[in-house]
Amino acid sequence: MQTSILAADTLIQANAVDYLLIAIYFAFVLGIGFLASRGMSNSVDFFLSGRSLPAWVTGLAFISANLGAVEIMGMSATGAQLGLPTVHYFWIGAIPAMLFLGVVMMPFYYGSKVRSVPEFMKRRFGTGAHLVNALSFATAQLLIAGINLYLLGSIVHALLGWPLWVALIVAALIVLSYITLGGLKAAIYNEVLQFFVIVAALLPLTLLGLHRVGGWDGLTSKIEKAAAANPDTIAPAADQLNSWPGAALTGFNSDFLSVVGIVFGLGFVLSFGYWTTNFVEVQRAMAADSISAARKTPIIGAFPKMFVPFITIFPGMIAAVLVTEIARTKAGEAVAGGASGEGVTYNDSLLYLMAEVLPNGLLGLAITGLLAAFMAGMAANVSAFNTVVSFDIIQEYIIKDRPDDFYVKLGRWATVAATAVAIFTAVLASNFSNIMDYLQTLFGFFNAPLFATFILGMFWKRMTATAGWTGLVSGTLAAVLVGILADGTLGGLSVGVLPLSGQGASFVAAGAAFVVDVAVSVVVSLVTTPKPEGSLKGLVYSETPKEDLVDAEDAGRPWFERPVPLAGVALVLVIILNVIF
């Protein structure tokens, strides 16, 4: 196995059938863009796909938009390194927040008829908070699109041997053509398609890998053996095979603090901030055909999301015991090779496992799945970016009062511009990969105070416009301050006064951002003038008639078509999963 990889020019050997599978997928993707461009005539169509999609479509798109490069490569890499505690990113760090979004927050988003999350900010808090939110979001999307594009290009390079710059430009052009042609609807259709392809790609990989290591028992005994052989470099097997308390993940010495860090930092602040205010996600639900479908979007998405760890984290864990290169990397050796050609990293786990267990044919399907996921990730960033730029920045502040189709055209140009910038940031990422990591950590900081501001604003009518933006800014600053005081979170910028590193530091930073945001918002609200009563209808809980928040037709539906009972079932399932693992 090892010689075949070392003798080859590329990490994975694809043959004609594999290329055929990839080509068919691209034909479908471009066909969708072309078809979606028919029957589209106004800005609601282009940006919110006419609010016409059924809940299962938007629900799958909701999790697919997140199932991009960072998730698939990142989660399998963390799985290879740390094992089962990685599931917290799903069962603690995603599901509860998705259910909360569907049950509590979505009625405000959908019911107030806003076209974007920053627009909700504007209606609730006015210009200051709106501008802070819109600008930070748009910038973050460009950078993340660049990271997705870079990973996409580097995998094309590793798999097919194309030069990185060719891979980048080809990938960017394909993403560009299907979004400009079809708008959000094409992006969402492709995300749903991508969901099935990625499952069809990763499920056989997981099953075959598990078969090769001798099932779950074989996997556990091999992990125990590897951990016992290298106690200095590999986390103890007990930590890798049980999700709680997850000390290896947080880096905390105390089990109790580790649990608190995961539940409050990751589970509450970070994940609620991400899932409930990130427009990339919320936009998918806004495209649903009714308030009930919009609420069901994240709730339906929660069911497949629960099982994504089995096809991302498990392959990573399997690769760490089955693939020699990854096992040696885990034991602390520096191994030559890898997708980048600059040494094997945990990020290469999936690719090595694919080369190890998949025959040609399934291999092509797996490559297609990865390419699809990274393109869809980038498309999601770009389509959210063009909505925010067209409506929230340009229409609000720069070129006002033009006819509708002007902004549709503008949206298309924003997409072209975003793609060009993404190529640039992708090149940047290829040269300074560490800097991109830090930038991502930084943008993580923006999410925590956002959630605090939203949730206060939705339930406390006294909260003022000034409190909106001062809370956001001070919360973000608090998070950055913790990042700087911690050890290594922001690289050279971190001074290491606090004995925190890795994920634990992010959790503490998020917690600090939340607490400071709430405190500042409350104090500022008490000394400034609130918005007049009546202007907050549809935006604040106590000011909105109950019947505006629910779908009247829901009452007659069976339980499995109503949002709240569905969410209850999902919550029970996720608790069961936590108990088992």
Partner 1 sequence: MSTETNRGFLGTLLSLFDIRNVIGSLLAVYGIILLLMGLFGDPEVDKTGGPNANLWAGVVLLVIGAVFIAWGLLRPVVPDAPGSSKVNEDK
| Chain positions contacting partner 1, by CB under 8 A | 17, 20-21, 24-25, 28, 32, 35-36, 38-39, 41-42, 44-45, 50-52, 54, 57, 189, 192-193, 196-197, 200, 204, 208, 211-212, 289, 356-362, 365
- Give how far Cα 521 sits from Cα of 19, 466, 494, Å: 55, 8, 28
Give me the least distance between CB of 15 and partner 1, in Å please: 9
| Number of helices and strands in the chain (H, E) | 27, 0
Question: CA-CA distance, 60 to 67, in Å (whole number)?
Answer: 10
**Residue (20 or 526) nearer to partner 1, CB:** 20
- Per residue, the 3-state secondary structure of 494-553, as one string, reads CCCCCCCCHHHHHHHHHHHHHHHHHHHHHHHHHHCCCCCCCCCCCCCHHHCCHHHHCCHH
Six-digit token string for 192: 């749903």
Give me the least distance between CB of 211 and partner 1, in Å please: 5
Give me the least distance between CB of 362 and partner 1, in Å please: 6
Give me the least distance between CB of 61 and partner 1, in Å please: 10
**Residue (366 or 479) nearer to partner 1, CB:** 366
* Alpha-helical regions (H) of 323-341: 324-330
In the chain, % helix, strand, coil (3-state, to 5) comes to: 80, 0, 20
288 forms bridges with which residues in the sheet? 53
**Residue (17 or 484) nearer to partner 1, CB:** 17
**Residue (2 or 242) nearer to partner 1, CB:** 2
**Residue (239 or 356) nearer to partner 1, CB:** 356
Give the three-state DSSP class for 337. coil
Give me the least distance between CB of 562 and partner 1, in Å please: 17
Question: CA-CA distance, 527 to 215, in Å (whole number)?
Answer: 63
**Residue (36 or 72) nearer to partner 1, CB:** 36
Give me the least distance between CB of 54 and partner 1, in Å please: 6
Give me the least distance between CB of 209 and partner 1, in Å please: 9
Q: Which residue has the tokens 């094997």?
A: 344
Six-digit token string for 229: 């052989």
Residue 28 identity (one-letter amino acid): F
**Residue (58 or 141) nearer to partner 1, CB:** 58
Question: CA-CA distance, 484 to 490, in Å (whole number)?
Answer: 6
**Residue (24 or 336) nearer to partner 1, CB:** 24
**Residue (114 or 192) nearer to partner 1, CB:** 192
526 Cβ partners below 8 Å, 6+ apart? Answer: 462
Question: CA-CA distance, 32 to 29, in Å (whole number)?
Answer: 5
Give me the least distance between CB of 62 and partner 1, in Å please: 14
Spatial contact of 363 and 354, defined as CB atoms under 8 Å apart: yes
Give me the least distance between CB of 404 and partner 1, in Å please: 12
Question: CA-CA distance, 450 to 399, in Å (whole number)?
Answer: 27
